[in-house]
Amino acid sequence: MAPRFTDGELEAYLDEALSPEEMAVVEAELRVDQELARHLAGINARRDAGVHTLGEVWRRHRISCPSREQLGSYLLRALPAEDCDYVAFHVEKIGCRLCLANLDDMKRQRDEVDTTVVTRRTKYFQSSAGYLKRDQ
Amino acid sequence: MTAASETDRLLIHRIREGDSSAWNDLISRYEGRLLAFVESRIGRRAVSEDIVQEAFIGFLNSLPNFDGRRPLESYLFSICAYKLTDHMRREGRRPALPLSAGADSGGEWQLASPARAASSIVRSGERRDLEEKSLVDALQQQVQRWKERGDWCKLKCIELLFVRGWANKDAATELGITEQQVANFKFDFLARIRSIIRKQGLSEDVFPEMYQD
């Protein structure tokens, strides 16, 4: 039987880079499949030893990710058709979590009430500004 | 997506000088996408906000070691992913694994592959960074070329093969091309990347998948 997950997908799982639905499926399988857990640990050991895979490097450096501006244009349907088709592929088929987060954020900005955003940002600022240091 | 923007570089410079308004600007610029990233996985707004808050504090604590040439967004996402994973482990949602390749593992966790045993090629962090940078440069050049030429099918194909790890057959079906075309795309891509790696005088052992087949 073919493995349920490719090594590329398991590497993405370790990087918290699969779509939320796929992450949940891998987690559920790991709870019941010791062979999968061993295989995943093997991948992790290889990464620890510094053996590169193209997929990891590609994801980490976001080699093919569109810019935030391009993602914004995609939402506005202002990209040329082929570029638009590629962004849809990258987000839906490859499942790029970081581009998806950018898209969700831009969609929310259209809908969210300003006061909610200001309150949240103030909370972040007040809880972290004490960690600001000079001459870092 | 890999170069740090001028705006981010200036923000970091001001934050390093203790400028609180710059810190506020950074929060405003990035909190929404970080929250969307976490919430898509956790599904609970209040907990997600707490994790983003921890990520911002983690960023300030790590700032002395942050390389300003790195893209800030990717760095913030990586801190956020770490905090998120940590949270999910504590909640028991993310199963624990024997994640260390320590000496007591007895080689049990070595991946079955044509690559050399991982323990035999452990090397310095500096060396690894150099190898990774060379590979990134090569990949960026190739992807940029495809985008400029409108070779979207090649880009999609290579992304399916190497980022998702799909088999040639599945990629061919997805893209509506033949398996032979997929094999040709893969061959050309690997040949080009290998050539660049070789020119840099880097060890082939650390890029095993480029020398399979």
Reading chain A (136 residues) residue by residue, the pLDDT tens digits are 456 899 999 999 999 999 999 999 999 999 999 999 999 999 988 888 877 789 999 999 999 999 999 999 999 999 999 999 999 999 999 999 999 999 999 999 887 777 888 889 999 999 999 998 765 6
For residue A132, is it within any domain?
no
Does residue A56 sit in the same domain as residue A17?
Answer: yes
Task: State the nearest Cα–Cα gap between B141 and chain A, in angstroms.
Answer: 10
pLDDT at site B106: 35
The full DSSP string for A31-67 is HH-HHHHHHHHHHHHHHHTT---HHHHHHHTTTTPPP
CA closest to A123 among chain B residues: B53
The Cα B55–Cα B210 span in angstroms is: 36
For residue A1, is it within any domain?
no
**Helix count and strand count (H, E) for chain B:** 8, 0
Which ipTM did the prediction report?
A: 0.88
Does residue A14 sit in the same domain as residue A47?
Answer: yes
pLDDT at site B110: 35
* Range B33-37 average pLDDT: 98
pLDDT at site B107: 36
Whether the CB of B81 is below 8 Å from some CB of chain A: the reply is: yes
Tokens for B27, please give them.
């929060």
For residue A119, is it within any domain?
no
Distance set, CA B36 to CA B42, B51, B117, B121 (Å): 10, 11, 39, 39
pLDDT in tens, B134-187: 889 889 999 999 999 999 999 999 999 999 999 999 999 999 999 999 999 999
Query: What domain count does chain A have?
Result: 2
CATH architecture entry for B6-90: Orthogonal Bundle (1.10)
pLDDT at site B131: 78
Provide the terminal-to-terminal Cα distance of chain B, rounded to the nearest Å.
31
Does residue A99 sit in the same domain as residue A74?
Answer: yes
Task: State the nearest Cα–Cα gap between B189 and chain A, in angstroms.
Answer: 12
SS3 B154: helix
For residue A54, is it within any domain?
yes
Whether the CB of A32 is below 8 Å from some CB of chain B: the reply is: no
User: What is the total residue count of chain B?
Assistant: 213
Evaluate if residue B92 carries a pLDDT over 80: yes
The Cα A106–Cα A97 span in angstroms is: 14
Helices B72-90 & B6-16 angle (0-180, nearest 10): 70
pLDDT at site B3: 62
For residue A2, is it within any domain?
no
Range of the domain at A39: 7-60
Distance set, CA B122 to CA A34, A51, A77 (Å): 27, 8, 48
Contact residues on chain A for B52, CB-CB shorter than 8 A: 124
Helices A97-111 & A68-75 angle (0-180, nearest 10): 60
Q: Where are the domains of chain B?
A: 6-90, 123-211
Q: Which of B1, B99, B166 sits opposite A67 (nearest CB)?
A: B1
pLDDT in tens, B109-130: 333 344 444 444 555 667 777 7
Supply the CATH classification number for the domain B123-211.
Answer: 1.10.10.10
For residue A122, is it within any domain?
no
